[in-house]
Amino acid sequence: MMGRRGAVLSLPLLLAGCDYQTYQSIFSDASTEVHDFNILFVIFLIVCAIMYALVIGFLIAAIVRRSRTGPADVVEEGRHHQSNPAMRTGLIGWTALVGTGLMALAIASFFGDRSMANAAANEKLSVNVTGKQWWWDITYNSADASKMVRTANELHLPVDVPVHIYLKSDDVIHSFWVPSLAGKQDLIPGRDNDITLVPRKIGIYRGQCAEFCGADHAKMALIVNVDSYADFLKWWHHQLESAPAPTSPLTQAGYNFVTTRQCSSCHAIAGTPANGTVGPDLTHLASRRSIAAGAMPMSEGNLYGWVADPQSLKPGNHMPTIGLEPDQLHAVVAYLETLK
Amino acid sequence: MTPPDSIPQRIRAQDERLARERGTIARDGPDLRGAELEARLDRTWRRTPGIIGWLATVDHKEIGRRYIITALIFLALGGVLALAMRVQLARPDSALISPQRYNELFTMHGSTMMFLFAVPVMEGVAVYIIPLMVGTRSTTFPRLNAFSYFMYLFGGVMLWVAFLLNIGPDVGWFAYTPLSGPEFSPGKRADVWAQMITFTEVSALAAAVVLICTILKARAPGMTLARMPLFAWAMLVQAVMIVFAMPAVALCSSMLISDRLVGTNFYNAAEHGDALLWQHLFWFFGHPEVYIIFIPATGFVSVITETFCRRPVFAHAVVVLALISTGILAFGLWVHHMFATGLPRVGYSFYTSASMTVAIPTGLQIFCWLATIWDGRPRFQVPMLYVVAFIITFVIGGLTGVIIAAVPLDLELHDTYFIVAHFHYVLIGGAVFPLLGILTYWYPKITGRMMSETLGKISFWMVFLGFQLAFFPMHFSGLLGMPRRVYTYPAGLGLELPNLLSTIGAFIVALAVVIFVVNGIVSLYRGMIAPPNPWGAATLEWATTSPPPPYNFAHIPVVESNTPLWDVDGEMPVVTGLRVDEKETLLTTVVAAVPDLREPIPEASLWPFIASVAVGIVFVASIFSPWALAFGVVPCAIAIAAWFWPKEMKRHPEPVIS
């Protein structure tokens, strides 16, 4: 997953013996945008490294020169108001160098910007992402309303297909950021924003909200699953299906609880009476990789913990701890696990 | 009705009395000099002892000392918050600190460091040093100066008391709307933040006015603008920047308070307000704010470099022009904080270029300092070591600044730990290192004793190396995808090692600061007694005793070059003729510094303190009720009227010009 340049840049960390995954790293090369970013970043790094070397070289030379003869505490008598002519030339040269360097970088930045803007010019897929405290509400747009899919916290994208993501917010400002795939864009209430990208590598990438948005800002993650086009379509078609009907007494009890008690006032499950829109859509909850916007991986244990006491697992989030009886908890979790 | 002919008669009588008295007015000069002059000046200028005298004093040196000490206390408090955050972030998925508490910590850390430490400490140093450096007896508007300190103190105390009472702000030091608005921040936390801003902006504006007028009008005769020391130039540019930048934050924080308190909708998108309006106004202040902190520090660097390299800073005029152009450019690049908000792409390109342009004047200054070292005979005592550390560190921050000026790069790096690394390199490397250097440098002037060189070197190396360990790994944290303002991060992203290193580094820096403070306290009692000019410096603050007497100079010095103390043979030339029995100083013309007026300096007064209490009560009360503004005006008006009540010349009145 890691690009060649990434390997070079993070060499110090590798040398330090750090074994790490890079699915939230900027050095992924996993999309056209991040590929361009890495090229531009390396250009900037090289220019800046040269400038830094010049400054430090001059500093060292100036300090070493001190070892010349003469008492150190005497003011430069007689000529201390004059400037050294060589230094005057040096100043002019330095200014020209800094100016040229900046001009080159500004131009590189300009073309980098244009290249990224053009890469995904002809969108093939359009997705709405709405930021909420503290989760992501995702809708796949389609001209055919029956093909629209609503999900949460997990974005599925087909590889090599330009995607246009429309960014909105219902509450405070959030920022959509999947480092391995693209730079960030803010989701601002009252404004429409968007971002385009072309994923180039199949894989799983993690992103998270990058604008401070309140108590659980750190726990507002987003998982992006880049699939082959065929897998993506399979996923889409699966998402269009309604939730399966409960088949055992336990899941039936869970179904009854979820659809008639507190849960359904916020959550929707397609094919059931639960149709709240305040919280994430749960129709295919159990097929997602994480619970509560990346707060914890999807597992039976975590589902138990989350349903029983969301406030202690993600303090401050808007899902209340409602105090389920043990049998209710078993039933609800059993039902939720059927929502593949 | 007054008879018409009695008016000239009264004036004539007054004139005669004045003429009689003029001969008896005591002035410094050939007849009055030496010990007798100093004793009489001391009687006139010394503050009355006791708590009343302490509250009423208008001596710029006392106010400057209070500013510096208060700001350093806030630095320590902000530092403790930073350590708490670093402990929390040392390990992934740590649960030591709750998210709510962590949000309060970074809000308080940022607000304390920016508003209660960095800007006030620069102003405090300047309030102390500038009158000495430009060769005058007092700042202009000394009562406003006292008022400014008390406003700052009350604002800082209010913020910290609120934090300790668990109603401290939790919306970030930038308080973006709508998160800080009434809907998403119920309670009083955001109001406390906004009112702290009000306190500090009043204080900063007052101090800026005092400094601008002192620098422009109170310079010693002969200190033309061309001969003015670079630190005075830096403070002039900084103070003018404050005057232009602070109103923007005053406006946006008042609109926020108004949204929260009386239900206006400036930032409410649902009612056709605009959430982004806040960001434009805030960053129009917030970006210059960084330079408001950095520019005085460049003044420190110039001062230290000149003294310790034994020659004036290379290309004085170039450095001055660089300062001024930095000050102007700083107002043209606030949008680079908002590259991710979806503004038009043409705007992006403009602000990318504008942001990069700032590197030119800064690069020029770096070159000038290096050329000064090259051409001089550098002595590596503690202040100079901090200058070297400044160059090594700040240039990294400046170059990462060029990187994030580019829109495509910033969109990835914005709001990540890469940015945290960048601005700590700029602010700690660029401002705190020079500050530590200059505190060591001016310590003998302020206290009369030298700081320990050994302890100074130990804390220097620890702060320098600890800083690199703490902040360099943050570049990598950011590149590996760690956003700012998160109370924790998951394991497995490669963030464990850089965060652990940062935490270790932070503790080394903290220990170094403790050693610095211990050095400061111990040297107060044990330090070597400082002569008037222990470093062999060239500027006027070293022409008087260490510490200076309350009246600064027995005679106002006359300046004939850029480096007066290096160029004078024997005694300093002086001007004489200022009154000894009343506080008085000499004003000169703005450009050429030709003697212009003798200016009476206001007596010590309790009214600035009372006025600041009255204004403080209004500000705090208006957190809770808008009516506080209506009723609170009355005590403020009374206090301010009493403060400005025309001074009656009890003894020896005379025309101002004679």
Label residue B375 by pLDDT band (50, 70, 90): confident
**Among A36-40, A83-87, B21-25, B541-545, whose mean pLDDT is lowest?**
B21-25
Per the rule left: phi > 0, alpha: psi between -120 and 50, beta: everything else, B652 is left
Count CB-CB contacts under 10 A for residue A81.
14
pLDDT, mean of residues A129-145? 93
The pLDDT tens digits for B409-457 are 999 999 999 999 999 999 999 999 999 999 999 999 999 999 999 999 9
Per the rule left: phi > 0, alpha: psi between -120 and 50, beta: everything else, B9 is alpha
B395 has a chain A CB within 8 A of its CB: yes
Tell if the CB–CB gap between A90 and B345 is shorter than 8 Å: no
- DSSP for A277-326, please give it: -SS---TTGGGSSEETTTTEE--HHHHHHHHH-HHHHSTT-SSPP----H
pLDDT, mean of residues B553-570? 90
Q: Which CATH number fits domain B59-526: 3.40.250.10, 1.20.210.10, 3.90.1150.10, 3.30.70.141?
A: 1.20.210.10
pLDDT of residue A240: 93
pLDDT, mean of residues B364-369? 96
How close A225 gets to chain B, by Cα (Å)?
17
Separation of alpha carbons B348 and B334, rounded Å: 11
Label residue B224 by pLDDT band (50, 70, 90): very high
Among all chains, which residue has been given the structure tokens 């921050």?
B397
pLDDT of residue B22: 63
A105: which chain B residues are within 8 Å (Cβ-Cβ)? 356, 402, 406
Pick A210 or B577 by higher pLDDT.
Answer: A210
B341 has a chain A CB within 8 A of its CB: yes
R_g (Cα) of chain A, nearest Å: 28
pLDDT of residue A75: 66
- In chain B, how many H helices and how many E strands? 22, 4
pLDDT at A10 over 80: no
Tell if the CB–CB gap between A26 and B489 is shorter than 8 Å: no
How close A98 gets to chain B, by Cα (Å)?
6
pLDDT of residue A23: 82
B399 has a chain A CB within 8 A of its CB: yes
Residues 6-35 of chain B whose Cβ lies under 8 A from any Cβ of chain A? none
Q: Could you give the percent of chain B with pLDDT greater than 70?
A: 96
pLDDT of residue A12: 41
Give which of A8, A10, A59, A74 to mutate to test B binding, by max B Cβ within 10 Å.
A59
pLDDT at A139 over 70: yes
A56: which chain B residues are within 8 Å (Cβ-Cβ)? 392, 395
| Helix B382-405 vs helix A32-64: crossing angle, to nearest 10 | 160
Residues linked to residue A155 through DSSP beta bridges, in sequence order:
A224
ipTM over 0.85: yes
B497: which chain A residues are within 8 Å (Cβ-Cβ)? 13, 16, 18
- Closest Cβ opposite residue A63 in set B274, B373, B495: B373
As a whole number, the mean pLDDT across chain B is 92
φ, ψ for residue B569 (rounded to 5)? -105, 120
Label residue A9 by pLDDT band (50, 70, 90): very low
On the 0-12 / 13-18 / 19+ scale of CB atoms within 10 A, A269 is buried
The pLDDT tens digits for B167-181 are 999 999 999 999 999
Separation of alpha carbons B434 and B278, rounded Å: 33
C-alpha distances in angstroms, B576 versus B136, B573, B586, B602, B603?
A: 12, 10, 10, 20, 22
Tell if the CB–CB gap between A185 and B395 is shorter than 8 Å: no
Could you tell me the pTM of the whole model?
0.93
Q: Could you give the percent of chain B with pLDDT greater than 90?
A: 84
Pick B60 or B376 by higher pLDDT.
Answer: B60
Helix (H, G, I), strand (E, B) or coil at B74: helix
C-alpha distances in angstroms, A174 versus A222, B92, B177, B508?
A: 12, 23, 11, 35
The pLDDT tens digits for A193-206 are 999 999 999 999 99
Tell if the CB–CB gap between B402 and A95 is shorter than 8 Å: no
Around A21, how many Cα atoms within 13 Å sit in the side-chain half-sphere? 10
CA angle, A40 then A44 then A45, to 5°: 115
B496 has a chain A CB within 8 A of its CB: yes
On the 0-12 / 13-18 / 19+ scale of CB atoms within 10 A, B536 is middle
φ, ψ for residue B134 (rounded to 5)? -95, 0
A52: which chain B residues are within 8 Å (Cβ-Cβ)? 395-396, 399
pLDDT at A79 over 60: no
Tell if the CB–CB gap between A211 and B99 is shorter than 8 Å: no
Q: Give the type of residue at B196.
A: M
Among all chains, which residue has been given the structure tokens 């100093």?
B38
**Distance between alpha carbon B141 and the CA centroid of its chain, in Å?**
17
User: Residues B23, B25, B27, B30: is their CA dihedral positive or negative?
Assistant: positive
- Closest Cβ opposite residue A210 in set B415, B492, B497: B415
Count CB-CB contacts under 10 A for residue B119.
26
Tell if the CB–CB gap between A37 and B483 is shorter than 8 Å: no
pLDDT of residue A115: 82
Q: How many residues does chain B have?
A: 658
Label residue A13 by pLDDT band (50, 70, 90): very low
The pLDDT tens digits for A222-264 are 999 999 999 999 999 999 999 999 999 999 999 999 999 889 9
Q: Where are the alpha helices (DSSP H) in B425-535?
A: 433-447, 453-479, 496-526
R_g (Cα) of chain B, nearest Å: 26
Of A206, A179, A230, nearest to A289 by C-alpha is A206
- Closest Cβ opposite residue A80 in set B311, B348, B490: B311
**B100 to chain A: nearest residue by CA?**
A215
pLDDT at A70 over 70: no
How close A10 gets to chain B, by Cα (Å)?
8
The pLDDT tens digits for A39-49 are 999 999 999 99
Q: Which value, to the nearest 10 degrees, does the dihedral of the CA atoms of residues B580, B581, B583, B584 take?
A: -50
Residues linked to residue B600 through DSSP beta bridges, in sequence order:
B584
Tell if the CB–CB gap between A75 and B311 is shorter than 8 Å: yes
A109: which chain B residues are within 8 Å (Cβ-Cβ)? 352, 405-409
Label residue B658 by pLDDT band (50, 70, 90): very low
- Cβ–Cβ under 8 Å, residues B354 and B394: no
Count CB-CB contacts under 10 A for residue B206.
24
- Residue B1 has which token pair? 């009705």
B274: which chain A residues are within 8 Å (Cβ-Cβ)? 190
Q: Could you give the percent of chain A with pLDDT greater than 90?
A: 70
As a whole number, the mean pLDDT across chain A is 87
B377: which chain A residues are within 8 Å (Cβ-Cβ)? 66, 70, 72-74, 76
A302-323 exposure pattern, b = at least 16 Cβ within 10 A, e = fewer: bbebbbbebeebbbbbbbeeee
The pLDDT tens digits for B105-116 are 999 999 999 999
Separation of alpha carbons A143 and B155, rounded Å: 57
Tell if the CB–CB gap between B345 and A25 is shorter than 8 Å: no
pLDDT at B562 over 50: yes
Query: Which residues, other chains included, contact B59 with Cβ-Cβ below 8 Å and sequence gap of 6+?
Result: B45, B47, B138, B142, B550, B604
B402: which chain A residues are within 8 Å (Cβ-Cβ)? 44, 48, 102, 105
pLDDT of residue B30: 81
pLDDT of residue A7: 40
pLDDT of residue A208: 94
**Among B456-470, B534-548, B557-571, whose mean pLDDT is lowest?**
B557-571
Helix (H, G, I), strand (E, B) or coil at B498: helix
Label residue A16 by pLDDT band (50, 70, 90): very low
Q: Where are the alpha helices (DSSP H) in B90-118?
A: 99-111
pLDDT of residue B569: 81
Residues linked to residue A225 through DSSP beta bridges, in sequence order:
A156, A204
